[in-house]
Amino acid sequence: MHRVSLTELSFQNELAIQELMNVFMDCLLAYFHHVSELDVSFLRGQIIHNMDKVYIILDEVLTNGVVAYTSRERALLPLQLLDAGS
């Protein structure tokens, strides 16, 4: 019987959170092009004027608090369809 300690769970969760943040930032960089972490943290530039698109990306990556997609292409698909329609 293998027991999982809290430190193992904590370590796995930290890696999962880091991966989630990397996917989210990759999506923002791919869609908005010249965005940095400072733009996101201080809500400057393109981010503040396109918060609806940021929420669409976040909704695609997370569903009901669970990571749904870790593929940048899949997370950006709704925005590509939205842009193609306008």
CATH number for the segment(s) 6-85 = 3.30.450.60
Q: How does pLDDT run across 22-41, given as a tens digit for each residue?
A: 888 888 888 887 776 666 66
Whether residue 9 is predicted with pLDDT greater than 60 in this model: the reply is no
Q: Check residues 66 and 85 and name the one with the higher pLDDT.
A: 85
Whole-Å CA distances, 58 to 1, 7, 13, 61: 38, 28, 19, 5
Mean model confidence pLDDT for the chain: 77
Output the pTM of the full model.
Answer: 0.72
